[in-house]
Each structure stands twice: as structure tokens, then as C-alpha cells.
Structure 1
Amino acid sequence: MAASGPPTPPPGRRVTNPLSLTRVESAVARSAAGFGIAFFLQSLPALLGQQSSVNPVYFGASVGLIVAALLFAAATSIGGRGVRTASITFCAVYLVMLVTWPLAVNDPEHAPTDSPWLYYLLTIATAMAAIGFGIRTAIVYLLAVPAIYALIRLTPAGGHSTVLQAALDSVYAVILGGVITIIFTILRYAARAVDRAQDTALERYSHAVRQHATEAERVQVDAIVHDSVLTTLLSAARAYTPEAQELAATMAGNAIGYLRDAVATAPDADAMVRGGVVASRIAEAAAAMSQPISVRTIGVGHSSMPLVVAEAVYSAAVQGMVNSLQHAGGAVERWVTIRGRADNGIEVQIGDRGAGFDLASVPQERLGVRVSIIERLATAGGRAEIESTPGAGTKITLRWPDGSSSGAPEFAGFVAEAERKRGES
């Protein structure tokens, strides 16, 4: 059976770029690719200066593979797919080029003494490792690749540097790459925590929506049972004449139709109804009652509400009038006042100066007050308040929206309040 959805939450400031693992990885990947291209351009003077001392085949292959890997990383960071694959590819290409550097130098004894041009991309390689690998593999790469560079730097092919210079270059790369790895790891864990929290919140919200739909369905069925089915059964039990039996049969057919419509159709939750339309329907229902009921409308022209709310307010108001006719007595004053509210809501008051009743004495199995009025309004996001004193009449106030932070009132709350007042008196 279809049921209306939960009330729409109040509008607020929308979070346009929430933290997530995908966004963090994409942002870091774009930064690494952008800095990689910038560092490669920075290495061009050293690269061109060392071209004559390196094997041409190696030189062309190393430059081509490095450029291709950087462009691959940049493309995937923009596209959002294959980021880790591109990062791992760059790490692998860089490691192979670095390890094979001593083999590519034509004359190691007369090689340039400055750093190989690959040194400019060492930090980029460690940053790519943090993106592509897990934390343990990234740390191993962070420590191993600068160490390999330091060893190569000590060889003639690497410029025959001093131990201190090689160590400083290596430690600088480890520190800078370590900072990048730590920052990215923290962001990654934070983003994963946010993703888990969001998944949990969505799961709980979905569960709450299902519970609300089930409760709304129950209230709808209970209201139909009370308004149509039980009334039909009572009429059938008292149908001693052919006319009464025919009326009971007609009521039974109508009740079956109500149940069938409730199963087959669902109200359009997005449709809006003007307050004047609701007021007109309530006034027409009051005019059709067996006893006169005065109707007064105040400032409802600018109010509006969802269709499900309009139906709930109308049905609860009709049930309130029916209850007054059934229990308040014959020749008593009855009225309905419909007001528009400043918050674009509506307030309907159904009152009489009849017999009244004791709220605390109403049993829970009586559905007229609890389901057809209180729960029906609560399910639609409204609130029903009932004031009644034996011998002094009854007043039912329907308000939408609720406007309270305590949520939908339960019938037990009204009973407890009535007991408290009775004790004070």
C-alpha cells in the first residue's frame, strides 16, 4: 500500500563540496600531476645539458616514458578514473629509469658532476606512491627510492658526489615526500570516516523512511477502518428494516471502494493545496451534517499545504464534527473556525458546548480520537489538541505544521495531562 513520505526537512545552507575519499584522491592526484609537469619543465635545462653523455636510445625512451606517465596521471586525475593505476605506472617508470641510469651513461669517468635530471622528479614519484599504493607500500617506496638515488649519486655515473651531499639530497627527498604522504594519509582516513558516517546516516534515514511509511500506512488503514468499516458494521448490526439493510449494503460497498482506492492509489506528495480550498471543503462537510454547525474562516487565502496534509486536516476536522454530533447531544451550539497562520500553515478549531467527556476515561481501543484525529495529524506533520470537560463542551484544535520540537504527540500524553488536571481539581 502506498503511503505518503516523511515531512520535507526545512531548507538550509547546502553543502556544495562535501569531503569524500573520491574528492580527496582526485584533488591530490591533480596536484601531483600538475607539480610533476612543472618539475619536469624545471628539469629541462639539466636534461638537455646531460643529453650528450647519455645513450640516445635510453635518453629518448626515458624522456618519452616519463612524459607519457605524467600525461597519463594528469588525464586520469581530471577524468576521475584510473588515478591509482596512473600513479603506480609513474612510480614504476621512474624506478626503472633511475635504476638503469648508470648503465645509460656513455663515459662514467667523464660524466657531469651535477645531479641527474631525474632527481627533479624524485619527490613527485614518492607523492605518486602515496596515491597509488597502500600506506605500507608507499612508506617502503618512500625510503627505498631516495636510498637508491643516493647510492647512484655516489657512483661515477651519478656524478661521484660526496657521501654528505648524497645523504642530504636523499634525506631532503624523504622529508618532503614523507610530509606529502602523511598529509595525504590523514586526509584519506578522514575522508573514509566521512564516507562511513554518510553511509550510516543514509542507512538510518532509509530505515526511518520505511518506518514512517509503515506507520503512515497503519494510520491510514486504521482511519479507513474506523470511518467506513466499523461504521458500516454498526449500521448492519442495527439494520432491522429493508431500508436500513439497503443503506448498510450501500455503506459496505463504499467502504470496500475506500479500501481499494487506498491500495491502488497514492497521493501526490508534491501537489500543493490552497488553504481556501481546504476551508471550503470543511464548510461543505459542516453544511451536510445533521445538526447546524457555524463555520468561520479567517485569513486562509495565502496559506497552502501539501495534498497529504490537506487530506489529513480535512478528514480530522470531519471526524471531529461527527464525534460532536454523536456524543455532545442534540440542541447544542457547534462551531468550526479556520484560520491561516503566519508560517503559511493552518489552524482548525472544532468546538461545541455539549456534554463533553473525560479524556482519561477514553479507552485506547477507541479509534475515533486517537487514530482519526491525533495520529492522522501527527503523521502529516501536524498536531491535534483536545480540551474537554464533562458538562462544559469539547474543543479540538488542529494545527499544521506542528511547530514543536517534541515531535508528534501521542494519545497517552493527552490522557496523562487530563489526569494531572483532574488531580489538581
Structure 2
Amino acid sequence: MSVEQPLWRALAGYRVLTMVYAIAVFATSYEEFARPWVAVAYFAVLCVWTLATLPLVANAAQCTKRFLAADITVALAGILLTLVADTPERIADGRPTLPTIWTAGSVLAFAIKGGWRWAAVASSLVAAANLVERGGPTRDTVHNVLLVWVAAIAIGYVVEVARASERTLARALEIEAATRERERLARDIHDSVLQVLAMVQRRGAVIGGEAAELGRLAGEQEVALRTLVSGGLVPVSRVSEDAAEGAVVRAVEEPDDDSGPLDLRALLAPHAGARVSLAEPGAPVLLPSPAARELAAAVSAALDNVRRHAGENARAWILVEDEPDAVIVTVRDDGPGIPEGRLAQAEGEGRLGVALSIRGRLRDLGGTAELVSTPGQGTEVELKVPKQRTRGQ
């Protein structure tokens, strides 16, 4: 049950009780009114309106803006009709208006429905009507107006806080339910699918031939599925084969909103596979969205170079380090390495993969890309992005 539902029930009871109170106050001083028939007519309308609209103050959905406008009109009309029904002497003496404290119920309906801002508007209208009825500010009038104003705004603020707490609680319950379901699925997958994939990988390696290729694919799917069920870091991704170049390109579908930071781990997680190992911190590695995407693209370019030049059987390792002043990503492979002068020769031939895809991206981010390669011992690429520069992007 909503935490504000008891307020609606209390408001319905308040309106009925204050209607009875207003009629009783009028009945005790009926003979003192200048035009009592005006008051009788108003109370007849007030009684019918209060009882007929009880279903409309049952909850926020039924309490519409049109009802609130009509309800505050009834309250303001009662205050101003006091000038017609009562004598000037009684008004000057500070006698209550026709609706008396029933008016507060109309203001409270605004507060519960729309929060403290709506309550402030309704209280201001009631205050203006009271000042017109009294002919000016008096001590009792100001006291009553401020009391209604403060009470309505306070209740409206409490309702807003309660609604925000309800939304937070609902979100927490959703996350808890999703986490439990993911843990249940992870257990089932671990006991069935992951074990089957691991067995296919082992048997394929033993049999060889086409079975070895099936085993390799099963191993890649095992790593990807294990990463998904264990951390949930892998966003929705697609894998496309470039037949001409023999490269595997993984494109991660991210939201187009560049306003907030991204977790670099989520962008690098799809690269993990049977021949690519990913080591990362346990906490999020946050970078501005453009910087995170450019750094991930540079890592992807480095892995593409491993596949093209080190062979399909080469292994690669990605190490992510979150330093206080910089984020460092190291990509290392066990390929044959790059012969001395080969990069300069490639640039001269117009092949600018390292120069543009890796070093160019890091230079635009204010970072550096260091490449160390020893023939026969593989290649290591260190990508470093300073946090101070990326914060200002």
C-alpha cells in the first residue's frame, strides 16, 4: 500500500467532520446573521459537494485537477459570501467565515496531490480571500493564514519525499529480484551449458581437424558466457567476420548519450575469449564517454594487429590499470614480434594502422601509446590516458 494512501483517507474524514463543524457553528449563531438564508443555501451546496466528492479524494488518480479547481472555488466562495451573509460588526469582531476550517481540507488536497508547490498556490488563494473578507490584515487572520500555509507546504513536502522513497524502494526491489534471478540462471548455466562447452573444447582439441575448430568456438562462447553470468559487464554486442582481412571486429552497442562517464571494463569485456585474456580492477574504471570509446577503439585496433600479423593461434593479454592520475591499458601478445624498421616501412607504404588507429587516438586524448616489440618474444602496446585531460572533455 502506498504511504500516501492513509493521508487520502484522513483527508476524506477531515472534510466530513469539518463540514459538520461549520454547520454547527452557524446553527449556534443563526439569529445573529444579517442574511441567514444565504448561509443556509451555501451550506446546502457544501453538504452535497462534500458527500458527493468523497470518492474523488480516495486516491491521487481520482483527485483530478478539475476537481481541485472546483473544490478551491467552493472554499473561496464560502469565504467571500461571509461578507453577504454576516454583519459587518461580526466580521470586524473576528467571527469565523462560513466554511471555517473546511477550507484547510481543500488546501490539503492540493498538497497531497501535487506537493508543496501546489500547496503554496492554494494557500495563497485562501489567504487573499481571507484578507478581502476581513478588509485587511489582522492578527487573527495572519495567524490563521500562516498556520494553513506552513501546514500545507510541510505536508506537501513530506508527500514528495515519500513518493521519492517509494520509487527508490521499488527500484531496489527490482534490482534485488533481477540479481536473484541472475544468480539462479548462473547456477543452472554453470551446471549444464558451461560444462558442456568445456567438454566440447577439450574433446575437439583431442580429435583435431574440424572438431578442433568447433572446440575453439565452444571455448570462446564458454568464456563469453562465463563473463556475462559472473559480472554482467558485457553489454549487448555483435560479432562480424571480415572475410577479406580475417579480422574479428566486436562492436558494442552503447547509448548515444555522451553526457556521463562510461565504465571502460564494459567496453573491453567483449574482447575476452579463448585466446584473449582480460585482467581488470574490481571497481569501475570510469572515463568520459568519448575518451572511453576512443581508448577501447585503440585496444580493438591493437588486437586486430595481433590477429593479422601474429596469426590466428596467437594469444593476447589485456591489462587494465586504474592509477590516480591516469588509466593504463596494456595489450601484449606471444606472436613473432615486429622486425626492426617494419613500422616505419609500413607508414611509408601508406599502412597507418598503428600511426592513426592507435597513436593518433591517444594523441587526441592527450595520452601516449608506447610500442615495444622483440623479435621472437611478441609485442607489447601500452596505452596511457591522463584523467586530468579527459575530465575537461
- State which structure, 1 or 2, has the greater radius of gyration over its C-alpha atoms: 1
Q: TM tier, shorter chain?
A: 0.3 to 0.5
User: TM-score under structure 2 normalisation?
Assistant: 0.42
